[in-house]
Homo-oligomer: A and B are copies of this chain.
Amino acid sequence: MKALLLVAHGSRAATANDEIRRLAERVAAVVDGDYDAVVPAFLEMAEPNIHQGIERCAELGADAIVVVPYFLAGGRHVTRDIPAEIDCARAGHPQISIEIGGYVGASDAMPELVVASARGAA
Interface residues of chain A, those whose CB is within 8 Å of chain B, are: 4, 6, 8, 11, 13, 15-16, 19-20, 23, 26-27, 29-32, 34-35, 66-68, 70-76, 99-122
CA distance A72 to B17 in the complex (A): 11
CA distance A111 to B79 in the complex (A): 22
CA distance A115 to B4 in the complex (A): 8
CA distance A116 to B68 in the complex (A): 10
Task: Give A68 Cβ to nearest chain B Cβ, in Å.
Answer: 5
Check A70/B68 contact, CB under 8 A, given A30-B112, A35-B118, A121-B101.
no
Task: Give A105 Cβ to nearest chain B Cβ, in Å.
Answer: 7
Are A112 and B109 in touch, CB under 8 angstroms? yes
